A and B are shown apart, each in its own frame.
Chain A
Amino acid sequence: DAMVIQNPRYQVTQFGKPVTLSCSQTLNHNVMYWYQQKSSQAPKLLFHYYDKDFNNEADTPDNFQSRRPNTSFCFLDIRSPGLGDAAMYLCATSRDKGVNTEAFFGQGTRLTVV
């Protein structure tokens, strides 16, 4: 059974039109992460939540925002998608940080910007 679920699997959005990607987890993990992955590259961490505490990476553009309304759900909002934001977006969870840090990934959402 899928433990980290991302919806939709494929998303097409227009240049400049806000888009939201969603992630849910059944693991009751404290930490939820959003990564961006472009073709043939390693995942790049955008930000993460440790419980309700939001942690933004220094080089994450302001165009990217996130919400975590409860333990199970986390959303990635792209306010004005550009062509360069086309990528696979991966959600991951881990039970904790420092210990029990095994990360579980969802299947990803492939974002296309037209």
Chain B
Amino acid sequence: GENVEQHPSTLSVQEGDSAVIKCTYSDSASNYFPWYKQELGKGPQLIIDIRSNVGEKKDQRIAVTLNKTAKHFSLHITETQPEDSAVYFCAVESPSNYQLIWGAGTKLIIKP
């Protein structure tokens, strides 16, 4: 079955700097890759997603890149702000049953 690995588990960056979180997956048939942000005590919120027919997608300060050959995708946050502090999860949709397979999460800390 699909296996998703996410790194790093914790990332601390200075406010204004960029943050990058990476995920790898195992099933080359996977086609849908969402990223979720989860603030303390709240449910996960979809912040950006990408399908396998594109290599990059941007939404203001957030971007996702996908390398299908290498089977990895990354979340890029530029000009980080205090409100970006949260846990970020990558996920991969299983091509066999369409369920989301989740990464272990990255705790992003923005230092003032």
Given the interface pairs A41-B105, A42-B105, the reply to whether A103 lies near B45 with Cβ below 8 Å is no
Asked whether, in the complex, the Cβ of B43 is within 8 Å of the Cβ of A42, the reply is: no
Contacting B at CB under 8 A, from A72-114, are: 90, 92, 97-98, 101-108, 110
Asked whether, in the complex, the Cβ of A108 is within 8 Å of the Cβ of B42, the reply is: yes
Size bracket of the B interface: 10 to 19
Contacts of A6 in B (CB 8 A): 43
Contacts of B36 in A (CB 8 A): 105
Size bracket of the A interface: 20 to 34
18 pairs across A/B with beta carbons < 8 Å? A41-B104, A42-B89, A42-B103, A42-B104, A42-B105, A43-B44, A90-B43, A90-B44, A98-B98, A101-B98, A102-B34, A105-B43, A105-B45, A106-B43, A107-B43, A108-B41, A108-B42, A110-B41
Residue numbers of B with Cβ under 8 A of A are 32, 34, 36, 41-46, 49, 89, 93, 98-100, 102-105
